[in-house]
Amino acid sequence: MRGSDTLVLNRSALPAKGDWRREDLALGEIRELERFLASVEQRAFRIARIALRTDDDALDVVQDAMLQLAQRYGQRPSAEWRPLFYRILQNRIRDYQRRRQVRNRIFAWLPSFADKDEGATEPDPLEQVGDPGPGVVEQLATGEAMKLLEGALGALPARQQEAFMLRNFEGLDVAQTATAMGCSEGSVKTHYSRAVHTLRAQLGEAW
């Protein structure tokens, strides 16, 4: 009988083995990215929320940052993701802030919008400290301390705010913060130090 002479082939096992290994590796990297994003998404949202002051804008920039990280840097080693992610996030925040400034200038130029938008788009953060009626996040449980902190951070110049949040909240070291901010390490130290001094002056007594 011929059956004893023939080589029995299992097509699914033989040629696909290498492919499986490659796919396993790819799946591992994908899961790693998912874990990374899950570990930073809520913190990134809070940082964006402090900088932009609305939930929807903060969600938009975090979503963009996640997608861009996957598109542009998903193939890079996972150790590089953290500063890269925050760099994308900070760039997106700055884009939103610039866009908002331009919009404000246009609306300010139009008399019909000037009165309505002046207070709403450029609020004084310190004046907001005692305001009991903002968004859902605050109402749930952010607390008075967070409101004070948000107000004080909101009053900082953007670069000081970035340096403080990345260094202090996210625990990035000076080099990583410099990468995320796109500046020198010396600049990071300067911005951070000034931020701490300002915050101490504003919050010291309240805290």
Partner 1 sequence: MNADQEPEVPGDIEARSKAVFDTSVDEVNARVRSRLTQARFAAVAELERRKRSRWQGIPAPATGLATIAIVAALVVGPLIHRTGPVGPTLADEDMPILLDTDNMEMIENMEFYAWLDDDTLDDDSAQQAAQPGEPARS
3-class DSSP assignment, residue 131: coil
174-187: burial string, b at 16+ Cβ within 10 Å, e else: bebbbbbbebeeeb
Neighbours of 207 (CB within 10 A): 11
Cβ neighbors of 199 (< 8 A, separation 6 or more) are 152, 153, 156, 164
Q: For partner 1, which is the closer residue by CB, 74 or 123?
A: 74
3-class DSSP assignment, residue 121: helix
Total residues interacting with partner 1, rule: CB under 8 A: 62
Compute the C-alpha angle 183/188/191, nearest 5°. 115
Residue 147 falls in which region: left (phi positive, over 0), alpha (psi -120 to 50) or beta: alpha
Q: How far is the CB of 119 from partner 1 (least distance, A)?
A: 25
Q: How far is the CB of 157 from partner 1 (least distance, A)?
A: 14
Q: Binding marks (x or -) toward partner 1, 28..57, rule CB under 8 A?
A: -xx--xx--xx--xxx-xx--------x--
d(CA 202, CA 207): 9
Residue 174 as a binder of partner 1 (CB under 8 A): the answer is yes
Residue 13 as a binder of partner 1 (CB under 8 A): the answer is no
In the block, which residue shows the tokens 């903060």?
Answer: 58
Residue 26 as a binder of partner 1 (CB under 8 A): the answer is yes
Q: Find the binding residues for partner 1 in span 68-107 (CB under 8 A).
A: 69-71, 74-75
Residue 155 as a binder of partner 1 (CB under 8 A): the answer is no
- Give me the residues that bind partner 1 (CB under 8 A), please: 2-3, 5-7, 9, 11, 14-15, 18-19, 22-23, 26, 29-30, 33-34, 37-38, 41-43, 45-46, 55, 59, 62-63, 66-67, 69-71, 74-75, 136-137, 140-143, 145-146, 149, 167-169, 174, 188-190, 192-194, 196-197, 199-200, 203-204, 207
